[in-house]
Amino acid sequence: MNFLAGTWLGDWLTGLGRITLLSREAIASVLTFKFSRRDVLYQVYFIGIKSQSVVIVTGAFTGMVLAAQTYFQFHKVKMDTATLAVVSVSMCSELGPVLTALMVAGRVGAAIAAEIGTMRVTEQIDALRTLATHPVDYLVVPRLIAANIALPLLTVESMSVGIAASYFVGVYLLGIEPTYAWWNMLKYSHDSDVMIGMVKSVVYGGIIALIGCYKGLSCSVGAEGVGRATTEAVVYSSITILICNFFLTMVLEQLCVILGI
């Protein structure tokens, strides 16, 4: 593999290998309960509670614009009352989890990379190690568990707010008949849509926490290194989420069909 050294492919494969090792170490730490519950709670507060405003605004306006655009198209073929059904399915299985994850990646992924990166360049991570504390147990695992708890909750919030906002726009601004719209929404939205959204949100929580931590732990020395780590954490998390979304959709939809959910 030496011929790949120094090339972008070599660097990419090295990064992928390191993040896999970090994931393995983190999962081993989770399974052996080497983390502090207090740290997890604080991270749930930081990732979950503090991200609510951006998630609510994103969910609400996405639901509203989706309702409006769907209505404008469906109105041409007299399918106005199917508007909320489209919004509901889209918000539950695609837009809710993806947009929530992208917003959290921007807010939390950047913060994780900046905090850990600063700790690295100021020798605080070395100090942790001299105090017989594994950086993965203390820094990575609480963030990973917290992201996996917070993301599904934020996603449910985003879905609910988006659907409620679309109902408001559809019924009160665009004049859709509420009873048929609601009935159609319930008829065409399935448990599987919500389950797909939940599974995705757990995966995205892991992606945001692991990439943020990895970028912070591996950042180069100096202010420039921290800045680059922060930017890369957001960019790589966002791209990974979007790529994973396609594959997760394909796999989970097929899985639901096979399992008859």
CB of 128 to other proteins, least distance (A): 8
- Site membership for other proteins, residue 259 (CB under 8 A): no
When asked if residue 14 is in the footprint of other proteins (CB under 8 A), the reply is no
SS3 content of the chain, % helix, strand, coil (to 5): 90, 0, 10
* Residue 146 and residue 47 in contact, taking contact as beta carbons nearer than 8 Å: yes
**CB of 126 vs other proteins, minimal distance in Å:** 5
The answer to whether 11 contacts other proteins (rule: CB under 8 A) is: no
In this complex, which beta carbon is closest to other proteins, that of residue 73 or of residue 122? 122
The answer to whether 132 contacts other proteins (rule: CB under 8 A) is yes
* Complex with other proteins: residue 126 or 177, whichever CB lies closer: 126
Binding flag, residue 221, other proteins (CB under 8 A): no
Closest CB 124 distance from other proteins, rounded Å: 5
Residue 131 binds to other proteins (criterion: CB under 8 A): yes
Contact range with other proteins by CB under 8 A, out of 56-64, 126-134, 177-185, 239-247: 126-134
The yes or no reply on residue 41 touching other proteins (CB under 8 A) is: no
Return the number of the residue (7 or 122) whose C-beta is nearest other proteins: 122
When asked if residue 31 is in the footprint of other proteins (CB under 8 A), the reply is no
Sign of CA dihedral 18, 23, 28, 32: positive
Classify burial at 228, counting beta carbons within 10 Å of its beta carbon; exposed 0-12, middle 13-18, buried 19 or more.
Answer: middle
Phi, psi of 189 (to 5 degrees): -95, 135
Q: 144 near 34, Cβ under 8 Å?
A: no
By the 8 A CB rule, do 86 and 145 touch? Answer: no
- 61, burial (CB in 10 Å: exposed 0-12, middle 13-18, buried 19+): middle
The widest CA-to-CA distance across the chain, in whole angstroms, is: 69
Task: Give min distance, CB of 135 to other proteins, in A.
Answer: 9
Choices 45-53, 60-68, 117-125, 223-231; region in contact with other proteins by CB under 8 A: 117-125
- Name which of 83 and 118 has its Cβ closer to other proteins: 118
Assess 5 for contact with other proteins (CB under 8 A): no
Nearer to other proteins, 131 or 259 (CB): 131
Give the C-alpha separation, 229 to 112, whole Å: 10
**In the complex, least distance from residue 26 CB atom to other proteins, rounded to whole angstroms:** 13
Size of the chain, expressed as the number of residues it contains:
261
Answer yes or no whether residue 249 interacts with other proteins by CB under 8 A: no
What's the burial of 79, exposed, middle or buried (CB within 10 Å: 0-12/13-18/19+)? middle
Site residues (vs other proteins, CB under 8 A): 115, 119, 122-124, 126-127, 129-134
